[in-house]
Chain A
């Protein structure tokens, strides 16, 4: 009998190639999304876009009550950078919702006459105070609240990512660690004096895990959630800063001048403490007369 010897070499090579292709494909899948993402808009870049920009000396703000306030999102970056940047994860609807929340807080102040939400198209990247002066002329606002944000997202492999080699693992094992850090800031400027009245920050850090297949989707969700949490934090800080601002205006007349616009409404009002003092006085006088 003649024994046939079959060579296994070609099969082995074919199998090795197949594994290699799968590894490459899998690696491609795994690393096919952004591992780092950074998106920001800056008040400083917006107000002082060029290095040769002359320093603007702020004056003592004169607040002419009641105030008309504008609320706006600072446009991100300078124009050429923005064109090449990836599309923003923060939608216009999210920004509008945030501005409405800030506007609501200002509405509750007794010395604020009106709040205008400034449309995104009214501010140019790097527009500076010249752009704000245009807004002042166009919308008749006295004070502007500029909202800026900075969001960074990182994603990395954990030890569980070894499971991706099984292909099925890439679909079911959440081996990606995602971090999202968000900083929101509202900066309030008096337009005529170009001076900073106050600022209120809000921060949030969100951590999570996802499968590599769902990482992009998860990062988008984390971005929205982190923005909402930072907005909540900023809202609380803003309320606190507004209260402090009211106190500062009263207690630091050297730093804030206050005038009233003609046609204001006057109120004849006696406060509770004065009424109580009078009541005490009356009671004491009555007691004395009965003796």
Chain B
């Protein structure tokens, strides 16, 4: 049950995003963010354009998030809280043409990568499996990036370009989060050892 609660906390706000009035206020909107509506850097990821758009993102996030919580309790919400604005800032800097954005896939990709990295360090016997998962994600990102023409996505009446950039940034933030935590643990391990030595 402990691993379910953070997943519910992470996933439930996405349902609000289907309400157009809510989406209007919380969607990543480049102009509005530059005018001071900075909360959109966080909230934009939870906004979706159609139910099917939401479903796949939510399935991946909830599945990988539940597993991650079992392996590293507390990691899911921490990662989401840090990575969401980082992704938003990366959109501002790296995708200036993108006026608006919605979707959890960037963060969901990050959670999958984070899960694989966490398992790599924990379960040495199953290393090949988790390396395989990382390779699968890398292959998907490479294929999406190599796609010469942008994907045409049917998101209801909305004309939407599927953002590969968000997926790549999600994976990068996950690697960054994982490395920062490992370094942090090492520091924590060193500190008591050093104190004991003194």
* Interface positions of A (Cβ within 8 A of B): 65-66, 109-113, 246, 249-250, 253, 256, 258, 260-272, 274-275, 277-279, 281-282, 284-285, 288-289
Contacts and interface: CB of A to CB of B under 8 A. Distances in A.
A271 B42 CA distance: 23
B99 A269 contact: no
Contacts of B101: 265-268
Contacts of A261: 97
Nearest to A279: B63
A65 B45 CA distance: 23
Contacts, number: 134
Interface residues of B, number: 51
B161 A278 contact: no
B127 to A, nearest CB: 12
Interface stretch (B74-82, B106-114, B190-198): B106-114
B105 A268 contact: yes
Interface of B: 45, 49, 53, 56-57, 59-60, 63-64, 67, 91, 95-109, 112, 123, 126, 129, 132-133, 136, 140, 147-150, 152-155, 158-163, 165-167
A267 B105 CA distance: 8
B149 A269 contact: no
A273 to B, nearest CB: 9
A281 B136 CA distance: 10
Nearest to A111: B152
A270 B60 contact: yes
Nearest to A272: B56
B107 to A, nearest CB: 8
A199 to B, nearest CB: 21
Closest 9 CB pairs of A and B: A268-B103, A268-B105, A263-B99, A253-B148, A266-B163, A267-B160, A66-B159, A266-B101, A266-B98
Contact of B161 (A109, A264, A275): A264
Contacts of B165: 266
19 contacts: A65-B150, A65-B161, A112-B159, A113-B159, A260-B150, A260-B161, A262-B96, A264-B98, A265-B159, A267-B49, A267-B153, A267-B160, A268-B163, A269-B53, A270-B56, A270-B167, A277-B136, A279-B63, A282-B63
A272 B64 CA distance: 15
